Amino acid sequence: MGKAVSVIVPTYNEKDNVARLVERIHTSLSDYDYEVVFIDDNSKDGTADLIQALSGKYPVKVVVRKDKRGLASAVADGISYVSGEFVIVMDADLQHPPEVLPDIFKALKNHEFVMASRYIKGGSPGQWTLSRRIVSLVANLLALPLAFKVKDRVSGFFGFRRASVDAKALNPLGWKIGLEILVRGRFGLVSEVPYTFARRSQGTSKLSKRIIWQYIRQLVKLYSYKFQILDFMIVGGIGYIINIALYSLLTLLPALKTFEFNQLGKPYYLPPFIVSSLVAIISNYLMNRAWTFRGWKERKGGFGRYLLMGLATLLLDMGFLFVLVEYCNFSPVPAAALAIFIVFLVRFIIARSWIWKRTPNK
Ligand code: GDD
Ligand code: MN
C-alpha cells in the first residue's frame, strides 16, 4: 500500500540540518501516513549515514546517487522511489519550514499542484541580500507566461499528485524542477499556500552562475514546449501572407474580372480563394513538418490528413467568408483575412491530435 504523502528531499552536504529537519517533518505530519525519501548525491560529509541512522526511528529512507549530480535531476529520480498518492518536494536546509507541509497537503485534496509561495499574502522571501532578491525576482518574471496563475514560479517547495506527472518526460536541468513539473505535468487545478523563506542556519547555498545559465536553457525548452502554438502561428502567418497575396492577385487580375462569373449576384470571388488556400495549405504543411512538429511522429498518411484538414477547414473558412460578405457588408479581402484567422485554432488542435503525435521524452 502506498503512503498518503511522500516528501522528497534532495541533499548535498547537509549533515547539520537533516536531524532537525526529520524531527520537524515528523511533528508536522504526525497525523498522516507519510514517508521522507532523501536523494543524496554522495555527500562527502556523511549526510547519508546520518539519515540511515534516523531511519530506525522515523519513516525515512535515503537513496544515494553516485553517478549523477544536480538538484532537479535528484528530484526527478526521486519520483520513482516514492509511493505516495501525493508528493511534496522541499529543501533539506530548513529554509522551507516543515510546518507548511500540512497546508500543502490539505490544498492537495482539491488541487493537483500546490506551490508554496513567497510572493502571495502571508508569504515572504525573508532576509535576503539585495542581489539574491533581484536574481529571484528576475527569474520569477522570466517564467511569467509559462505559469501566470502562480505568483512564485521559482520556489523549490511544492506538492503535486504523483499520477499527474510522467517523470520520464521531465528535462531535469539545473534547479527549477517545480516549474518544470508545473509546465509539463497534467494539472487541472493549481494553487499556492504562503510561506516565509527562512535563513539558512547551517551549511552553504549551492547556487552558482552555472545554475543560472542552466535556468535560461530550461526556459527556452519550456517556452517552445508550452507555446508550440506560437510556432504554428508563425507558420500560419507566413501561409496567411502567401494566401492573401495570391488571393489579391487572383481577384484583382483584370483578365479574371472580365469573365464576370456572377455568383449570387456578386462578381467572382470564391474560386480564387480555393486556389490561394490550397497553395497556403501545402506550404504550411511543409513548414510545420520541418519546424513546429520536428521531433514529433507524423501519423500514417500525414500529408493526406493535412490536406483533408485544410480542405475541411477551408469549407468552414468559406462559410465565414460568405456570411461576412453577404450579410455583414465586408469586402472580400478583409473578409478572407478574418475568416482565415477564425479557423486557425481549429487547425492547430487537429494538427496536434490527428496529424502529429508527441514522442516520449520530447
Ligand atoms: N541531491 C542533490 N544534488 N541535492 C542538491 C544539489 C545536488 O547537486 N544541490 C543542491 N542540493 C540540495 C541542497 O542540499 C538543499 O537541500 C536544496 O537542494 C537547496 O539547495 P541550496 O543550496 O540550499 O539552495 P538555495 O537555498 O540557494 O535555493 C533554494 O531556493 C531557491 C528559491 O529562491 C532552492 O529551493 C531552489 O530550488 C529555489 O529555487
Ligand atoms: Mn537553501
Domain-embedded: residue 99: yes
Task: Provide the pLDDT for residue 206.
Answer: 78
Residues 237 and 110 in one domain: no
pLDDT per position as a tens digit, 264-287? 455 567 788 888 989 999 999 999
- Site residues for ligand 1, CB cut-off 6 Å: 10-12, 14, 39-41, 69-71, 74, 91-93, 95, 136, 154, 156, 175, 205-207
Q: Which residues hold their Cβ within 5 A of ligand 2, which is an ion? A: 93, 95, 200
Residues 20 and 139 in one domain: yes
Give the Cα separation of 350 and 356 in Å (integer).
9
Please choose, from the candidates 68, 64, 116, the residue with its C-alpha nearest in 3D space to the C-alpha of residue 88. Answer: 116
* Ligand lying closest to the C-alpha of residue 41: 1
Pairing type for strands 113-117 and 158-161 reads antiparallel
Domain-embedded: residue 54: yes
Give the Cα separation of 185 and 299 in Å (integer).
24
Domain-embedded: residue 334: yes
Task: Provide the pLDDT for residue 343.
Answer: 81
Domain-ending residue, one of 169, 196, 227? 227
Domain tally for the chain? Answer: 2
| Residue to mutate, 96, 119, 206, ligand 1, most ligand atoms under 8 Å from C-beta | 206
Residues 298 and 327 in one domain: yes
Residues 89 and 191 in one domain: yes
Domain-ending residue, one of 203, 227, 251? 227
Does an H or E element contain 291, and which?
none
Domain-embedded: residue 362: no
Domain-ending residue, one of 183, 207, 227? 227
Give the Cα separation of 297 and 284 in Å (integer).
17
| CATH assignment at residue 195 | 3.90.550.10
C-alpha cell at 317: 473558412
- 3-state SS record for 174-219: CCCHHHHHHHHCCCCCEEEEECECCCCCCCCCCCCHHHHHHHHHHH
Task: Provide the pLDDT for residue 147.
Answer: 94
What string of pLDDT tens digits covers the 362 residues of the chain?
679 999 999 999 999 999 999 999 999 999 999 999 999 999 999 999 999 999 999 999 999 999 988 999 999 999 999 999 999 999 999 999 999 999 999 999 999 999 999 999 999 998 888 888 888 999 999 999 999 999 999 999 999 999 999 998 898 888 899 999 999 999 999 999 999 999 887 777 877 888 888 999 999 889 888 888 888 988 989 998 999 999 988 887 766 655 555 444 555 677 888 889 899 999 999 999 998 998 889 999 999 999 999 889 888 888 888 998 999 998 888 888 888 777 888 889 999 999 999 876 44
Between the CA of 94 and the centroid of ligand 2 the distance, in Å, is 8
Q: How do the residues of the chain divide into helix, strand and coil, expressed in percent and rounded to 5?
A: 55, 10, 35
Q: Which atom of ligand 1 is nearest to the CA of 93?
A: 16
The model's pTM is 0.77
Residues 152 and 276 in one domain: no
Domain-embedded: residue 153: yes
Residues 217 and 327 in one domain: no
Q: Whose CA is nearest to atom 9 of ligand 1?
A: 71
Residues 244 and 271 in one domain: yes
Q: Coil, strand or helix: which one is 108?
A: coil
Domain containing 78 equals 5-227
Interacting residues of 353 by C-beta distance below 8 A, sequence separation 6+: none
* Ligand lying closest to the C-alpha of residue 156: 1
Residues 214 and 258 in one domain: no
Residues 233 and 286 in one domain: yes
Task: Provide the pLDDT for residue 362.
Answer: 43
Task: Provide the pLDDT for residue 242.
Answer: 95
Residues 209 and 233 in one domain: no
Task: Provide the pLDDT for residue 254.
Answer: 65
Residues 212 and 237 in one domain: no
pLDDT per position as a tens digit, 101-159? 999 999 999 999 999 999 999 999 988 888 888 889 999 999 999 999 999 999 999 99
Residues 342 and 277 in one domain: yes
